[in-house]
Amino acid sequence: MSTTPTRVFAARLVGLPVFDPQGDQVGKVRDVVVVMRSDIAQPRVVGLVIEVFGRRQVFAPMTRVTNIDAESVITTGLLNMRRFEKRPTETLVIGQMLDRHVRVRTTGVEGTVYDIGMEQARTRDWVLSRVALMEAGKGSGRFRRRRGQSHVVEWDDVEGLHRRSPNQGAEHLLAALADLRAADAANVIHELPPERRRQVVAALDDERLATVLEELPEEDQVEILEHMDHERAADVLEEMSADDAADLIADLSPDTARHVLELMEPDEAEDVRRLMEYGEETAGGMMTPEPVILPPDATVAEALARVRNEELTPSLAALVHVCRPPLETPSGRLLGIAHIQRLLREPPSTLVAGVLDTSIDYLHPEASLQDVATFLATYNLVAAPVVDEEGRLLGTVTVDDLLDHLLPEGWRDRSIGRR
């Protein structure tokens, strides 16, 4: 590894692409795995956690890392594709060591860890060698400094890194994960020890936590909500899509489910309760009750403006539903749907009612998974309206809603064995 820098910092490795010797990307760095020794001896870096395509996290021993620079990590290409599982003797630098409260022996300075430096020793082993910490702010009240001075000190001059604190914050860990997609952040949070996971959850804002929760395995979702106070749980559930919130509430204990529903905003709770009336594996149980709905006199320009909303998923934005008032589900009678592709071919002033697709039937809330899959495949759709017996729009089933239910149980947490 002659081209590898003598020292790199762990937080700067997160997200770096990992390549094989032929230049093909095999994944991204998610964490650094170390084995802690005595309070003074430098921990040995045993490998990297790499997220390969398909969201599986695997272990890459440092013996198979041939180069690290500011833009990439190069490996020998021989990676064991079994899912990474942390051993009891191992510690994750990003997941567990950032935000620990430490003290510098020689100066008495106290602060929180925001990065860890690692380098190759004379034995060619990689070890942790530096600690970057942010000194605690000083003063009190309105005169308190928000941040203190930063320091980079030798590993053996720091005490406190071996101790796990129940009050450990999560500011710097969240900073390292800030640029990750929700699914990727969920993958990292899933691998954290339960205590550390709860610290991270407490530090996340409600909106970000809601998007991450939607990507976690069901058992993680339940564990997180059950350990959260009911008022915050209700706030987070309000930020989730109604169908995901309904599925999660159905998995909670009856007492917790009842309390959070009572604390949710009435409109949000009403949507969730309506979805919970249907079977979980029916069109009604998996539909999204907030599709794009427009009146018959809306123009193509108005429809395109609505589907540009960045909060809409691509599948929800693929269809515009034209209904009689009221324009919230359950709506007035559904007159037809307009496909985004067709709208893009029409003059902006054209009425949406003039370009409706009325040639297909609609789903009913009792439709089974097989019925929904057959419907989407038959009409080459990524979303399908769900109507009641009077033809009123109840919601829309999207292809991602369908896949969530068709994939094997625990698909978000696929485990193929030990490394």
| Distance separating alpha carbons of residues 227 and 198, to the nearest angstrom | 8
| Distance separating alpha carbons of residues 95 and 66, to the nearest angstrom | 24
The confidence score (pLDDT) of residue 414 equals 52
The confidence score (pLDDT) of residue 365 equals 96
Query: Where do the domains of the chain lie, and which CATH numbers do they carry?
Result: 1-204 (no CATH), 293-405 (3.10.580.10)
Task: Label the pairing between strands 150-154 and 126-135.
Answer: antiparallel
| Distance separating alpha carbons of residues 101 and 105, to the nearest angstrom | 13
Contact 130/152 with Cβ under 8 angstroms? yes
Question: Among all chains, which residue has been given the structure tokens 């909106």?
Answer: 207
The confidence score (pLDDT) of residue 142 equals 41
Helix (H) or strand (E) holding 237: helix 230-239
The confidence score (pLDDT) of residue 140 equals 42
Q: Return per-residue pLDDT of the chain as tens, 419 residues.
A: 444 456 899 999 988 999 999 999 999 999 999 999 876 689 999 999 998 876 678 999 999 999 998 889 999 988 888 888 888 899 999 999 999 999 999 999 999 999 999 998 888 889 999 999 999 765 444 434 455 799 999 999 999 888 766 667 788 888 888 877 888 888 888 878 888 888 899 999 999 999 999 989 889 999 999 999 999 999 999 999 898 899 899 999 999 999 999 999 999 999 999 999 998 889 999 999 999 999 999 999 999 999 999 889 899 999 999 999 999 999 999 999 999 999 999 999 999 999 999 888 899 999 999 999 999 999 999 999 999 999 999 999 999 889 888 887 665 555 433 34
Question: Among all chains, which residue has been given the structure tokens 């407490």?
Answer: 202
96 Cβ contact list (under 8 Å, min separation 6): 164, 192, 193, 196
The confidence score (pLDDT) of residue 409 equals 67
The confidence score (pLDDT) of residue 321 equals 97
Q: Which two tokens stand for residue 53?
A: 């395509």
